[in-house]
């Protein structure tokens, strides 16, 4: 199958097609993806960029405002732009490419991230036969964050071949229930969040509960919301899926982050809802129960026979409903 599963990614590592200067590489392999990790090289920069045919080292010299030492816990301030070199490097064959996506926790903390490659012409896509370093642009948006080297904010999925087709797709909508907690809205003034502190922070200091009086509420401009899908999602062990937002004609908002769904997600019961991160732009927007926000695309992979998503690999969101990031109590 074109999308690689856990065992096939481990084979890539054994063959030095994916390598790192850290020994933790294989520990970061998920059922159908690899967690990417920060090195100690990080810079606060003036602006986002796409390198095209310019060396990233040259762009750093042009845009760098300060060097951030990730050998120790370091503060990344919200609404500032950072560029960090990743530990992982690639030596992909001619028929293999990659695609990166924020991890679930990254999205739920409203950390905008995207992978950049040398000579890359678009974010998050690693071209066929790519050989070289990976970089991660990081923009904390709702909260300042504290992190250090070897932290994982993004993941990469590998694809082999030149053609792939969706095997199934389902539309995803939001669930809003009258007189129940239907969403969380990020508060504007908070202290920083240490990414590595799990089940630590009191959610009411960072989030406002949204309890609508009807089956809708207004999402305000430039505010960040956590909601859940109306649909229950189930990914079999021989499938992987990816959530993509609908185009703008479906509403004056965007699903803030698309996401990977690993083999085994929701597979232990009737299914599990997706957690959605939404942000309105331009104007406030009424969002109603059942409003379409995205599409879940399913792809076949070789079956993951062990270590699929769930309790055995200590997945954080295997049994989620409307769940905030793992840092909150």
| Residue 181: CA count within 13 A, CB half-sphere | 11
Asked if 124 and 153 count as a contact pair (C-beta separation under 8 A), the reply is: no
How far is the first Cα of the chain from the last one, in angstroms, to the nearest whole number? 40
> In the prediction, which pLDDT does 42 show?
97
Q: Is the pLDDT of residue 180 over 70?
A: yes
pLDDT, average across residues 106-110: 94
* 7 three-class SS: helix
Round the average pLDDT of the chain to a whole number and report it.
Answer: 90
Query: What three-state secondary structure class fits 116?
Result: strand
Q: How far, CA to CA in Å, does 132 sit from each of 53, 55, 62, 114, 162?
A: 14, 12, 21, 17, 21
pLDDT(317) > 70: no
For residue 12, pLDDT over 70 is answered with yes
Whole-model pTM: value is 0.93
Find the mean pLDDT for residues 43-66: 94
> What span, in angstroms and rounded, lies between the C-alpha atoms of 259 and 276?
9
- Do residues 118 and 55 make contact, with C-beta atoms less than 8 angstroms apart? yes
In which band, very low, low, confident or very high, does the pLDDT at 165 lie, cut at 50, 70 and 90?
Answer: confident
Among the four given CATH numbers 2.120.10.10, 1.10.10.10, 3.50.50.60, 2.70.40.10, the one describing domain 168-313: 2.70.40.10
- How many angstroms separate the CA atoms of 326 and 195, rounded? 9
- At 230-271, the pLDDT tens digits run 999 999 999 999 998 876 545 556 676 668 888 888 877 788
In the 8-state DSSP scheme, what is residue 56? H
CA distance 115 to 117: 7
Least confident of 197-201, 202-206, 273-277, 302-306: 302-306
Secondary-structure class of domain 6-160 per CATH = mainly beta
Q: For residues 250 and 36, give the distance between their C-alpha atoms in angstroms, rounded to a whole number.
A: 33
Torsions phi, psi for 138 (to 5 deg):
-130, 125
6-160 and 168-313, same CATH topology:
yes
Would you state the pLDDT for residue 164?
75
The span from the CA of 55 to the CA of 120, in Å, is: 10
Q: State the SS3 of 146-209.
A: EECCCCEEEEEEEEECCCCCCCEEEEEEECCCCCCCCEEEECCCCCCEECCCCCCECHHHCEEE
Selection from 179, 243, 254 nearest residue 221 by Cα: 254
Specify the pLDDT at position 312: 58
Lookup result for tokens 């990614």 = 9
Q: Which residue has the tokens 């948006």?
A: 141
Per this entry, what is the length of the chain?
329
Query: What are the domain boundaries of the chain?
Result: 6-160, 168-313
């Amino acid at each position: 199958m074109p999308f690689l599963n856990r065992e096939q990614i481990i084979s890539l590592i054994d063959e030095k097609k994916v390598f790192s200067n850290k020994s933790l590489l294989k520990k970061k392999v998920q059922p159908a993806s690899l967690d990417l990790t920060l090195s100690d090289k990080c810079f606060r920069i003036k602006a986002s960029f796409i390198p095209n045919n310019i060396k990233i080292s040259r762009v750093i010299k042009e845009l760098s405002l300060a060097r951030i030492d990730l050998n120790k816990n370091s503060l990344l301030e919200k609404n500032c732009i950072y560029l960090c070199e990743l530990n992982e490097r690639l030596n992909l064959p001619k028929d293999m490419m990659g695609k990166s996506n924020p991890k679930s926790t990254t999205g739920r903390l409203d950390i905008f991230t995207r992978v950049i490659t040398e000579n890359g012409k678009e974010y998050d896509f690693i071209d066929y036969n790519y050989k070289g370093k990976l970089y991660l642009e990081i923009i904390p948006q709702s909260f300042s964050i504290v992190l250090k080297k070897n932290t994982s904010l993004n993941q990469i999925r590998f694809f082999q071949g030149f053609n792939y087709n969706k095997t199934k797709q389902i539309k995803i909508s939001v669930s809003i229930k009258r007189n129940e907690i239907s969403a969380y809205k990020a508060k504007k003034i908070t202290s920083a969040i240490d990414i590595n502190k799990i089940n630590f922070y009191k959610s009411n200091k960072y989030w406002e509960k949204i309890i609508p009086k009807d089956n809708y509420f207004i999402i305000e401009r430039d505010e960040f919301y956590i909601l859940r899908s109306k649909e229950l999602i189930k990914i079999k062990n021989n499938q992987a899926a990816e959530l993509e937002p609908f185009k703008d004609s479906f509403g004056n908002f965007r699903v803030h982050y698309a996401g990977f769904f690993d083999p085994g997600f929701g597979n232990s019961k009737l299914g599990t809802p997706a957690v959605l991160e939404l942000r309105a732009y331009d104007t406030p927007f009424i969002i109603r129960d059942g409003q379409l926000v995205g599409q879940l695309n399913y792809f076949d992979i070789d079956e993951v026979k062990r270590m699929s998503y769930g309790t055995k690999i200590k997945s954080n969101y295997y049994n989620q409903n409307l769940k905030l990031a793992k840092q909150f109590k």
